[in-house]
Amino acid sequence: MADRADSRHRAFIGSFTSAGGRGITTAALDPDTGALTVRSHTDAVADPSFLAVDPARPLLYAVSETDPGAVAALSTADPAQPRLLAEPAPVDGAGPTHVTLAAGAVWTADYVSGNVSALPLDGAGVPVPPARTHQHRGSGPDKERQEGPHAHAVVPDPSGRWLLSTDLGTDSVWILDLRGAPGDALRPHGEVPLRPGTGPRHLAFASPDRALIVNELDSTVTSCRWDADGGTLEPVEETRVLPAGTPGGDNFPSALVISPDGRFAWVANRGDDSIAVLALDTAGRAELRGTVPCGGHWPRDLAAHPSGRLLYAANERSGDVTWFTVDEATGTPRRAGSLAAPAASCVVFG
């Protein structure tokens, strides 16, 4: 349990087993240099495209981005090797791409079927089917990518009262009310439209009253005001995540992370193969300060170390995880090393 007590010293890497990945890789992490050293691999979960760590218990949750989709709980009590606690539970959706914990349940965003799923947890932390679901509805102007809803992320707000789900297909954020028992029916609260054709992919809170949304289809970030009292989200402005003059037609931003102190945000640019550095002000505005190479090809995920001094990029197509030291004054990442990780999809600490 010593390793579990300090999440700075261990990382879990998800990867697509259907593309040659090793499933879930456990790596020791040096908090001074950022270096990763592989301890073990497990392919107990097929295509674990996203992972989430339980902040209170030695548990790891993984979605299986398959059709039909599933979610699994693994024990991380052994510092070197996660152990599957039960067979992955069906989420009653297809192609889950994101997983989070909130209100006594595990939640997934099911991209292919365009819905959000929730499964309550038993006393051991294992998801208990059947899943409760909320179906998104609508479409967008991109006939190839937005023919219908495509839920991509599920994020609880800082108050713990609401769950926000970005939908790439409907150009909107759907809000669910979490104030109910874990087994109650899901409680839709509203849908917040964004500019048509943006393709919102992920959302992160920079503070209790402001959120950022990364848009996959037009290489922008939308800054929003958030009111937890009423559960309302208000888009304020957009910021491009590529330098002026850089074509964006073949760029598809993926991950968005906020620095622990809320001063910077980083966005992974797939296509441009870069990391955008944005400075955040107290009013919730984001300013692009520049981009740096991601260290590989097709960065699917970014992860900021809890110390704020390290940043990690999971480069899916080049098959590696690259780590960077972060300049405290400017937020600029500087490449420090990499680890081979075929078909890498995400990185979490725990």
- Can you give the CATH number for the domain in which 166 is found? 2.130.10.10
The least confident of 182-186, 248-252, 313-317 is 182-186
pLDDT of residue 320: 98
Average pLDDT over residues 108-134: 97
Residue 56 lies in a domain: yes
230: burial class by Cβ within 10 Å (0-12, 13-18, 19+)?
Answer: exposed
Find the domain containing 91 and state its range. 44-193
Higher pLDDT, 72 or 181: 72
Residue 128 lies in a domain: yes
Residue 66 lies in a domain: yes
- Inter-residue contact 319 to 345 (CB < 8 Å): no
pLDDT of residue 1: 34
- Does residue 304 carry a pLDDT above 80? yes
- Inter-residue contact 100 to 72 (CB < 8 Å): no
Average pLDDT over residues 7-12: 85
Residue 282 lies in a domain: no
Q: Taking CA 78 as the corner, what is the angle to CA 348 and CA 19, rounded to the nearest 5 degrees?
A: 50
Query: Cα separation of 64 and 108, whole Å?
Result: 10
**Using one digit for the tens of pLDDT, what is the confidence trace for 167-197?**
999 999 999 999 987 778 899 999 999 999 9
Residue 241 lies in a domain: no
- Does residue 8 carry a pLDDT above 70? no
pLDDT of residue 2: 36
Residue 62 lies in a domain: yes
- Does residue 240 carry a pLDDT above 60? yes
- Does residue 260 carry a pLDDT above 50? yes
Q: How confident is the model at residue 14 (pLDDT cuts 50, 70, 90)?
A: very high
Q: Which residue has the tokens 């992972």?
A: 51
Query: Cα separation of 20 and 343, whole Å?
Result: 6
**Using one digit for the tens of pLDDT, what is the confidence trace for 219-234?**
999 999 999 999 999 9
Percentage of the chain modeled with pLDDT above 70: 98
pLDDT of residue 282: 84
Q: Which amino acid is at 167?
A: D
**Average pLDDT, whole number, for the chain?**
96
pLDDT of residue 184: 80
3-state SS track over the chain: CCCCCCHHHEEEEEECHHHCCCCEEEEEECCCCCCEEEEEEECCCCCCCCEEECCCCCEEEEEECCCCCEEEEEECCCCCCCEECCCCEECCCCCEEEEEEECCEEEEEECCCCEEEEEEECCCCCECCCCEEEECCCCCCCCCCCCCCCEEEEEECCCCCEEEEEECCCCEEEEEECCCCCCCCCEEEEEEECCCCCCEEEEEEEECCEEEEEECCCCEEEEEEEECCCCEEEEEEEEECCCCCCCCCCCEEEEEEECCCCCEEEEEEECCCEEEEEEECCCCCEEEEEEEECCCCCEEEEEECCCCCEEEEEECCCCEEEEEEECCCCCCEEEEEEEECCCEEEEEEC
**Using one digit for the tens of pLDDT, what is the confidence trace for 125-173?**
999 999 999 999 999 999 999 999 999 999 999 999 999 999 999 999 9
- Does residue 325 carry a pLDDT above 80? yes
Residue 255 lies in a domain: no
The least confident of 88-92, 180-184, 193-197, 342-346 is 180-184
pTM, full prediction: 0.96
Average pLDDT over residues 257-262: 96
Residue 76 lies in a domain: yes
Percentage of the chain modeled with pLDDT above 90: 93
- Does residue 4 carry a pLDDT above 60? no
Q: How many domains does the chain have?
A: 1
pLDDT of residue 273: 98
